[in-house]
Amino acid sequence: MKHKLSCAQKNNEGEECSWIGKLKYHAYSAHDTTVYAFLTTFGDEERVIEGGMPHYTASVAVELWNLKNGGPSVRVLFHSAFHHNYHVITHLAKGCPHNSEFCPLKVFEQRSLKFLPVNLKKECQKSTDKNRTIWKFRGNA
């Protein structure tokens, strides 16, 4: 989002803006469990999903806006299933205003930092016996 915003402020001029300047839509595909994991970062996923896991066809849209009176802002929408419409869930994200469908980009970035990996290479390395955590569950059968 920072790259898109930076290029927009420069009228999409420059080689670094050639690919993103005309881009209006960027999508990632994910399973329901990944959508759920993303929604947990908002802090109130149960209000979004209303219990359980998201439907298999659920999706989330994160939009970048440059508001005249609010500057760069984010709007987040949730689509619970193919036969439903998107609805705004920005106000459910911890740290974002509860009375607006938009969240200032700086606020959204700041509240999201704790969910970003610090050292991607280290945190995503293949498990070994030395770095693996083993959970043992005991039942009273």
* Domain range summary for the chain, segments of one domain joined by +: 1-28, 31-119
pLDDT of 115 > 90? The answer is no
pLDDT digits (tens, 9 = 90+) for 63-75: 999 999 989 999 9
**pLDDT for the residue numbered 107:** 96
pLDDT of 137 > 60? The answer is no
pLDDT of 140 > 70? The answer is no
pLDDT digits (tens, 9 = 90+) for 21-39: 888 877 778 888 888 888 8
Integer angstrom CA distances of residue 59 from 24, 35, 108, 127:
18, 7, 19, 30
**pLDDT for the residue numbered 138:** 55
Asked whether the beta carbons of 46 and 39 are under 8 A apart, the reply is no
| Mean pLDDT score, 106-111 | 94
Closest CA to 107 of 70, 78, 79, 77: 70
